[in-house]
Amino acid sequence: MFEGELGIVIGKACGAAPEALALDRVFGYTCANDVTAAEILTRDASFTQGSRAKGFDTFCPMGQAVATGLDPSTLSVTTLLNAERRQHFPVSDMRSSVAQRVSLISFDMTLFHGDVILCGTSVGVERVLPDSTVEIIGIGRLGNRFG
């Protein structure tokens, strides 16, 4: 399965950051494709295989650019599968804002320069078939071929 997602790139160390200061710790934003091998995610009912199902080579391409100086609430994520639009959602529709996410995560773990937080997706997660190409448009264009 693919998920086109906004990636938040941390620019300064961030631990226990209040929401009002969280955006000051963000360097910029990138696009990401959070790929999951759904068929192995719940293969063992006693233990969800999240790390394995998301950890194969080529499963989380990011980039190719990091955009700075943007208001993340004005961004949209659009994902194309074989040139057909499958996802399109404004970042402002996410359950929490970028500032809220950075702040909440920073209270659980210290974030460091270069860390990337993926924001998840609200709609359109689908299975990717061999020889499919996924492109995420928003901050540059990211392509990922499966085969």
CATH number of the domain enclosing 120: 3.90.850.10
Q: Which residues pair with 31 in a beta bridge?
A: 6
Q: How far apart are CA 54 and CA 145, in angstroms?
A: 16
* Per-residue pLDDT, 116: 97
Residue predicted with more confidence, 10 or 89? 10
How many structural domains compose the chain?
1
Range in 29-33, 46-50, 88-92, 108-112 the model is least confident about: 46-50
Statement: the pTM of the whole predicted model exceeds 0.75: yes
What DSSP string describes 99-147? HHHHHHHHHHS-B-TT-EEE---SS--BPPPTT-EEEEEESEEEEEE--
* Per-residue pLDDT, 57: 86
Per-residue pLDDT of 85-103, as tens digits, reads 989 989 999 999 999 999 9
Which residue range is the domain that position 10 belongs to? 4-145
